[in-house]
Structure 1
Amino acid sequence: MSHHHINYIELAARDLAATEAFFTQVFNWQFTHYGPEYSAFSDSGLAGGFYKADLHAQASKGSALVVIYSDHLEATQTAVEQAGGKISKAIFDFPGGRRFHFIEPSGNELAVWSQQ
């Protein structure tokens, strides 16, 4: 039987430089550039990349929601805001933990969750 697992995700980014700076500042992701229209990230728990496009992912429009884990939810929310991210859903409880949603500089919606 074959083994299958998700190992890479790609997201659109209107402004690659701003998106890269945001994720570096807030989450300490590392980036590798593959030309002017693609930047791959690592040290995120799941490898992936951002490609230059005037599109963005919004869960309310049917996009998959990328969810990042944090041990310190409030501190991460503060870091998101200080780096220019916009909170789209304030911290809320759900079965198994708490989370918030945010919009990064290129318009993609992501979430951060914690068990605490």
Structure 2
Amino acid sequence: GPTYVAITGAGIDGGFELNPEGRTPSTDGALVILASDDLEASQAAVEAAGGAISVSAFDFPGGRRFHFSDPSGNELAVWTPA
């Protein structure tokens, strides 16, 4: 539909619905982590789309990631392998 975008062919299928009825933003549920080949470019795209960085990029044993809140208030993260 016009308010849904699907993700396919990325090792897992899924999607995002724009403002589904009866749902509210959350920072208390599961943290959705999106993979990226270029963390800096992804951060710039998030900010350009109205996202707010909530945890600056940091290194951890599996790579590097940052967290952000989307314009609706949901917390997500973007990760790139080491």
Q: Same fold (TM over 0.5)?
A: yes
Q: Give the Cα–Cα distance (whole angstroms) in 1 for the partners of residues 51 and 33 of structure 2.
A: 15
Q: Are positions 1:93 and 2:66 aligned together?
A: no
Q: Give the Cα–Cα distance (whole angstroms) in 2 for the partners of residues 49 and 76 of structure 1.
A: 18
Alignment of 1:32-47 (within 5 A): 32-33=1-2, 39-43=3-7, 45=10, 46-47=13-14
**Between structures 1 and 2, the one with greater helix share:** 1
Q: Give the Cα–Cα distance (whole angstroms) in 1 for the partners of residues 64 and 42 of structure 2.
A: 12
- Structure 2, unpaired ranges of 5+: none
User: How far is the alpha carbon of 1:49 from its aligned partner?
Assistant: 3.4
Q: Are positions 1:52 and 2:21 aligned together?
A: yes
TM-score by length of 1: 0.59
Larger radius of gyration: 1
Runs of 4+ in 1 over 4 A off after TM superposition: none
- Structure 1, unpaired ranges of 5+: 1-31, 34-38
Mapped contact 2:7–2:15 kept (Cα < 8 A) = no
Aligned to 2:69: 103
How large is the Cα RMSD of the aligned pairs? 1.7
TM-score by length of 2: 0.81
Mapped contact 1:57–1:64 kept (Cα < 8 A) = no
